[in-house]
C-alpha cells in the first residue's frame, strides 16, 4: 500500500499540471483574502452570478482560442493571427446586422454570424495553405494576417465602432441558460475536441505530425491535410470567440477587439504543459492555463494593482509558473537548498573503530622490498 501511495505521489509531482493548479489555487486564496465573498454564487431570475462565474465567462474566449492554438502548436506550428480574426469576425457580424432590413430580427443575427464564421474558415484555410502547401514558416505565414487582419476589419467598419441592437446576437456573449451562454459554448467545444482527439486516431496523428512530419508522411499519414485542418479549426475558434466578445457589448471595435489575445492563448497552452516544439499536448492543461490567465487578470483588478504595472505583474507570475514547471529549474532549486555544511561534515567525520590506517607509498617504492 505504501509503495502504491509513493508511486501516485511521484506521478503527481512529475505532472506538468501541478504548479499551474497550485498557482491557480493561490490566486483564488488571494482573492478570498481580499474579498471574503469571492466564492459566493447566487441564483437570480434563473441565472447564476458571482465572481467565479465572471471568471469562467470572461475566460471563455481565451479558452476557445487556446484550444485551437493547442492543436496548431502540437503540429509544430503557431498562429499569431487569431487576434485579427477575432476583430474581423465581430466587424463582419455587426456590419451585416446594422445593414440588414430588420436589424433586430433573429434571421439577421444568424445570417451575420454565418457570414462571419465562413470568412474565418477562409482565413484559416489561407494560413493552412501558406504553411502546409507553400512551406512558409508558421510564425511568418500567420504574421501576414496578424498585420493585415486589423486593417481588413477597419475597412469593413470604415474605421468606426459599429453598434447593434439585436437580442439574438447579444445572447451569444451576454445571454444565460442558467450559466452564461459563452461558458456553455466554450465547454461544449472543449468536450467535442477532447472526444475527437482522444477517442479517435486524430489526436495520435496530430502528435505524430508534430514529433516528426517527414516520418509521419512516409508512414502514410497525410500530414499536409492535418496541418491545414488545424489552422482552419484555430481560425474557426477565433471566429466564435470574436462573436462572443462583440456580442457581449453589442458592438464591433476593429481596433481593440481581441488585441493581444493570441499571446494569452499561447501562454495558456504553454502553462498547460504543451511544448512549443510540437508533439504531445494537453487539453486539460490548456483549460487550466486559460483559467489561470483569466484569474490572474481578475486578481490584478481585485487587489488594486495600478494599471501601469498590470502587464509587468502578469508577466512575473507567468515566468514564476513556467520556471517551477521546468525540471532544470526545480533541480537547481533543490541543489541550492542542500546545505553546503553537509559536505564539510562528511570530510570531518571520525574514522570508524577498527579501521586500518594505511600510509601513502611512493610510486617509486612499489614492487621493492
What are 189-202's pLDDT values in tens digits?
A: 999 999 999 999 99
Q: Determine the average pLDDT of the residues in 353-368.
A: 45
Q: Determine the average pLDDT of the residues in 110-122.
A: 97
Q: Which helix (H) or strand (E) holds 139?
A: helix 138-157
Q: Determine the average pLDDT of the residues in 104-116.
A: 96
What are 324-345's pLDDT values in tens digits?
A: 767 787 778 777 765 544 454 4
Give the pLDDT band of residue 366 (cuts 50, 70, 90): very low
Average pLDDT, the chain: 87
What are 28-50's pLDDT values in tens digits?
A: 999 999 999 999 999 998 899 99
**Prediction pTM value:** 0.85
Class of domain 56-328: mainly alpha
- In Å, what is the CA distance from 269 to each residue of 27, 67, 335? 19, 8, 29
Q: Determine the average pLDDT of the residues in 178-194.
A: 96
Give the pLDDT band of residue 367 (cuts 50, 70, 90): very low
pLDDT given for residue 212 in this prediction = 87
313 DSSP assignment: H
pLDDT given for residue 11 in this prediction = 66
Q: Is the pLDDT of residue 346 over 60?
A: no
Spatial neighbors of 273 by CB under 8 A, at least 6 apart, are: 16, 17, 20, 282, 285, 325
* Inter-residue contact 165 to 151 (CB < 8 Å): no
Q: Determine the average pLDDT of the residues in 252-268.
A: 92
Q: What ranges do the domains of the chain cover?
A: 56-328
Q: Is the pLDDT of residue 141 over 50?
A: yes
Q: Determine the average pLDDT of the residues in 94-111.
A: 95
What are 291-310's pLDDT values in tens digits?
A: 999 998 888 888 888 877 77
Q: Is the pLDDT of residue 124 over 60?
A: yes
- Which is nearest to 293 in space by CA: 16, 12, 23, 14? 23
Angle ∠(235,237,241) on CA atoms, nearest 5: 115
Whole-angstrom distance, CA of residue 60 vs CA of residue 116: 19
Amino acid at each position: 500500500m505504501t509503495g502504491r501511495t509513493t508511486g501516485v505521489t511521484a506521478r503527481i509531482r512529475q505532472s506538468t499540471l501541478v504548479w499551474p493548479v497550485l498557482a491557480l489555487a493561490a490566486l483564488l486564496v488571494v482573492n478570498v483574502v481580499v474579498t471574503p465573498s469571492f466564492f459566493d454564487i447566487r441564483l437570480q431570475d434563473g441565472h447564476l452570478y458571482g465572481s467565479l462565474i465572471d471568471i469562467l465567462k470572461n475566460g471563455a474566449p481565451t479558452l476557445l482560442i487556446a484550444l485551437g492554438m493547442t492543436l496548431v502548436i502540437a503540429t509544430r506550428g503557431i498562429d499569431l493571427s487569431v487576434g485579427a480574426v477575432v476583430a474581423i469576425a465581430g466587424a463582419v457580424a455587426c456590419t451585416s446586422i446594422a445593414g440588414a432590413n430588420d436589424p433586430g430580427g433573429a434571421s439577421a443575427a444568424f445570417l451575420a454570424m454565418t457570414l462571419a464564421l465562413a470568412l474565418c474558415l477562409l482565413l484559416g484555410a489561407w494560413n493552412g495553405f501558406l504553411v502546409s502547401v507553400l512551406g512558409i514558416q508558421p510564425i511568418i505565414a500567420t504574421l501576414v494576417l496578424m498585420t493585415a487582419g486589423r486593417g481588413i476589419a477597419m475597412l469593413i467598419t470604415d474605421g468606426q465602432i459599429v453598434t447593434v441592437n439585436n437580442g439574438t446576437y447579444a445572447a451569444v456573449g451576454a445571454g444565460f441558460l442558467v450559466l452564461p451562454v459563452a461558458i456553455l459554448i466554450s465547454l461544449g467545444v472543449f468536450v467535442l475536441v477532447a472526444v475527437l482527439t482522444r477517442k479517435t486516431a486524430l489526436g495520435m496523428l496530430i502528435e505524430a505530425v508534430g514529433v516528426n512530419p517527414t516520418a509521419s508522411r512516409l508512414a502514410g499519414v497525410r500530414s499536409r491535410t492535418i496541418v491545414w485542418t488545424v489552422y482552419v479549426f484555430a481560425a474557426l475558434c477565433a471566429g466564435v470567440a470574436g462573436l462572443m466578445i462583440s456580442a457581449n457589448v453589442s458592438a464591433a471595435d476593429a481596433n481593440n477587439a481581441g488585441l493581444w489575445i493570441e499571446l494569452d492563448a499561447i501562454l495558456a497552452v504553454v502553462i498547460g504543459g504543451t511544448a512549443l516544439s510540437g508533439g504531445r499536448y494537453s487539453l486539460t492543461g490548456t483549460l487550466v492555463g486559460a483559467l489561470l490567465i483569466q484569474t490572474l487578470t481578475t486578481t490584478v483588478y481585485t487587489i488594486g494593482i495600478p494599471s501601469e504595472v498590470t502587464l509587468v505583474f502578469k508577466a512575473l507570475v507567468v515566468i514564476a509558473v513556467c520556471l517551477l514547471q521546468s525540471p532544470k529549474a526545480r533541480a537547481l532549486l533543490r541543489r541550492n537548498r542542500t546545505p553546503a555544511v553537509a559536505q564539510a561534515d562528511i570530510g570531518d567525520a571520525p574514522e570508524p573503530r577498527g579501521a586500518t590506517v594505511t600510509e601513502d607509498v611512493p610510486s617509486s617504492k612499489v614492487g621493492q622490498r
